[in-house]
A = this chain, B = another copy of it.
Amino acid sequence: MLYIVGLGPGSLDLMSPMAQEVLQKVDTIVGYTTYIKLVKDFIQDKEVINTGMKREIDRCEKAIELAQAGKEVAVISSGDAGIYGMAGLILELLSSQGSDLEVKVVPGITASIGGAALLGAPLMNDFCHISLSDLMTPWEMIEKRLHAAAQGDFVICLYNPKSKGRPKHLEKALKIIAGYKGEETIVGIAKDIGRPKEETIITTIKDLDDRLVDMTTTVIVGNRFTKVYNGMMYTPRGYKL
């Protein structure tokens, strides 16, 4: 059996009991080095297959091979494994092989939900997720989605907002969004969610200090009604108070 497990944001107290049970019972755990560190309590006496980033295909092929040979295998992702994680890649590989291997996806708390809880309640009205990484999606498509999401006044969760290879993506994205929502729109930033260095910042598109954002950061841009109160960011649901 092949399990694809979402670990949640990083701390054990946000990892589901189902995920913890699977990690305890499998023979082999497969994942990117940073994620293996998150499950260090579970890896004694187990086979661990970890490789660096950008080796996802190798890792998933290896996991499939071991599961096909009869091992109980867990492939891990931080957050939820089905949101820009490993679950889709595993299914793509099985499909291309014509394999009928049984898989089970164990859901997890994704970064936007973990971050939103720290920031207050920004996701109380319709929202979307857009990854700013153009490694696998053309930048033109990302821009098209930014326009669509801003025009519909969705709350917008930006994943992979910035990296060394794409230092200007966040700036470009916020400029597109501000064109519809205005520069005073509230922005929340959550860094290293569920980890010791956990940090949140609430600001506006205009005042956002881009240097505070890196790959471990989730950026949540409010809708036109999002407000700040007592250090928390919230989007009204529409109750008549």
**Interchain CB contact (< 8 A) of A241 among B57, B122, B125:** B57
State the number of copies, please.
2
14 CB-based A-B contacts, threshold 8 Å: A12-B17, A14-B16, A82-B122, A82-B124, A83-B123, A88-B124, A89-B239, A90-B121, A91-B121, A105-B116, A107-B113, A126-B142, A128-B128, A148-B154
User: Would you give the shortest CB distance from A6 to chain B, in whole angstroms?
Assistant: 8
A168 within 8 Å of B (CB atoms): no
User: Quick one: given A18-B13, A237-B84, are A107 and B96 in contact (CB under 8 Å)?
Assistant: no
Q: Mark each residue of chain A from 221 to 236: 1 if its CB lies under 8 Å from any CB of chain B, else 0.
A: 0000001011010111
A21 within 8 Å of B (CB atoms): yes
A182 within 8 Å of B (CB atoms): no
A117 within 8 Å of B (CB atoms): yes
Residues of B within 8 A of A113 (CB): 80, 82-83, 107-110, 113
Report A187-241 residues with CB < 8 Å from chain B CB. Answer: 227, 229-230, 232, 234-239, 241
Q: Which of these binds chain B: A24-32, A36-44, A129-137?
A: A129-137
Say yes or no: B14 contacts A15, CB within 8 Å. Answer: no
Which residues from chain A sit less than 8 Å from chain B, CB to CB?
4, 6, 8, 12-18, 21, 56-57, 80-85, 87-96, 100, 103, 105-110, 113-114, 116-118, 120-131, 135-137, 141-142, 144-145, 147-149, 151-154, 227, 229-230, 232, 234-239, 241
- Interface of chain A, helix or strand or loop or mixed? mixed
Top-5 shortest CB links A-B = A136-B238, A148-B152, A88-B124, A128-B128, A87-B121
A91 to B133, CA, bound (A): 33
Say yes or no: B88 contacts A234, CB within 8 Å. Answer: yes
User: Would you give the shortest CB distance from A158 to chain B, in whole angstroms?
Assistant: 10
The residue in A83, A88, A94, A227 that gathers the most chain B C-beta atoms within 10 A of its C-beta is: A88
User: Quick one: given A17-B12, A124-B88, A229-B94, are A237 and B136 in contact (CB under 8 Å)?
Assistant: yes
A117 to B5, CA, bound (A): 10
A155 to B128, CA, bound (A): 9
Say yes or no: A16 contacts B21, CB within 8 Å. Answer: no
User: Quick one: given A114-B107, A123-B83, A148-B154, are A239 and B16 in contact (CB under 8 Å)?
Assistant: no
User: Would you give the shortest CB distance from A144 to chain B, in whole angstroms?
Assistant: 6
